[in-house]
Amino acid sequence: MNNDERIVITGVGLTSPNGNTLSEFRNNLLNAVSGVQKFTTRYIGETLAGICNFDPLKYQKKKDLRRGTRAGSISIYCANEAVADSGIDFEKFDKPRIGVYIGTTEHGNVETENEIYNLSQFDYDTKIWSHHHNPRTVANNPAGEVTLNMKITGPHYTIGGACAAGNLGIIQGVQMLKLKEVDLAIAGGVSESIHTFGIFAAFRNEGALASHPDPTKASRPFDSARNGIVISEGGCLYTLERLSDALARGAKIYAEIASYASNSDALDFVLPNSERQAECITLALKRGGIAPEQIDLVNTHATSTPQGDVSECNAVKKVFGASEKTYVNNTKSFIGHTMGAAGALELAGNLDSFNDCVIHPTINIDNLDPACDVKNLVVNKPKKVDKVEYILNNSFGMIGINSVLIVKKYK
């Protein structure tokens, strides 16, 4: 494969419940710092959530915040941080040759709930309905707000991929670069989910909303006492470039995209299908010409639900059961489930493993569920290993959408 066909990550911009830069995020993952806390929301009262604490005014004015959306604000912050981190001379870059591809679980629920609540306070007089409602709720909003903020005139769209969306945003950026449609892709995923009470109510009524006296222990994938999802907000966007362009400008390179895959369960609205998950992982490996034993780290999607965790563990066992040095971890145990941001954000937390050969653990495992006892699961403490050359990142979502992304150490 020539350098025009190889796609690399050259910049990372993120906000998470436990860090607003890659270094802060990584440091907290290695030091067991959780970002889950108590959270009070409309109609639900007190619950638990992962809340981001970035400075939205770093790249936006107050007027922009009033007019726009939380998802747009997260996207703008992450996109600007990624570009700054990449070292690109952005002012001189050809703006029509930049594409923005942002994955998300859903968009518009927050704004619609808020408008209806406001309407209820004024005897349902529609004159108080905001004229900003339509641009706030159109599906392309998060990516579109980035283009408005950064004066990007290339293509943009938001990818609705449920909880697989973060990976899918990156995959879309890779494909568009390979097709020569753009020369720079800003790609990844974002989530504003905690600002809609509906998602809390739905998970609670389904019996899948996490609870624990200690918020930092509520998200506990693979633990026998796990009882549901911690809903979180967050975002992570990358600058992706063709290797030839990155080398020409002397860019630092975080990783190279080695392969990817996506498929569908075709089973149920919410129940996962272990066989289809395993097939998605296998397809990504086959497409990249990578053997299972070459994967040094599998970052799991596991959300801390009883059925979901077991399903993924069965898929991982099926594909990697014979691999002696494939380690397994989970990032949601620190930050909860950042929904559409999950794939992109969790990948970021593992990128430094290429350099320091340290795998961050899955925390909050007091009693491992025997059904989740996968080989080489890194539990509660970081694990120093001999090498990390390939990382495989799982992200699976509702309506049976699966995505797998494999990145490798650039050399």
195 noted as active-site residue: no
Active site residue 372: no
Instruction: Characterize the bridge pairing of strands 327-330 and 297-300.
Output: parallel
Over residues 147-176, the pLDDT tens digits come to 999 999 999 999 999 999 999 999 999 999
Reply yes or no on whether the pLDDT at 36 is more than 90.
Answer: yes
Q: Is the pLDDT of residue 348 over 90?
A: yes
CA distances from 269 to 185, 266, 276, 398 (A): 32, 9, 14, 6
Looking at residues 361-387, what average pLDDT do you find? 98
Query: Burial letters for 72-96: b for 16+ Cβ neighbours within 10 Å, e otherwise?
Result: bbbbbbbbbbbbebbebebeeeeee
Q: 274-288 vs 306-320: helix axis angle to the nearest 10? A: 40
Collapsed DSSP state (helix, strand, coil) of residue 205 = helix
* Catalytic pick among 52, 78, 163, 280: 163
> Residue 53: which pLDDT band, with cuts at 50, 70 and 90?
very high
Residue 304 reports pLDDT greater than 90: yes
Q: Mean pLDDT, to the nearest integer, of 242-261?
A: 98
pLDDT of residue 210: 98
Query: Across the chain, how many H-helices and E-strands are there?
Result: 14, 15
C-beta separation of 259 from 287 below 8 A: yes
> Is 337 one of the catalytic residues?
yes
Cα(80)–Cα(73) distance, rounded to whole angstroms?
Answer: 11
Q: Which of 301, 313, 360, 372 is catalytic?
A: 301
Identified catalytic residue from 52, 337, 360, 372: 337
Tokens at residue 343, please? 């794939």
pLDDT tens-digit map of 210-233: 999 999 999 999 999 999 999 999
Q: What domains, with CATH codes, occur in the chain?
A: 7-248 (3.40.47.10), 260-408 (3.40.47.10)
Return the beta strands (E) in 44-183 as ranges.
45-50, 98-104, 156-160
Read off the pLDDT band of 381 (50, 70, 90): very high
Task: Give residue 322's pLDDT.
Answer: 95
Average pLDDT, the chain: 97
Specify the pLDDT at position 294. 98
Inform me whether the pLDDT recorded for 332 exceeds 90.
Answer: yes
Q: What is the pLDDT of residue 369?
A: 98
Query: How does pLDDT run across 192-212, given as a tens digit for each residue?
Result: 999 999 999 999 999 999 999
Task: Report whether pLDDT(1) > 90.
Answer: no
pLDDT digits (tens, 9 = 90+) for 65-124: 999 999 999 999 999 999 999 999 999 999 999 999 999 998 899 999 999 999 999 999
**Cα(209)–Cα(227) distance, integer angstroms:** 7
Tokens 């006492």 sit on residue: 225
Q: What is the pLDDT of residue 66?
A: 94
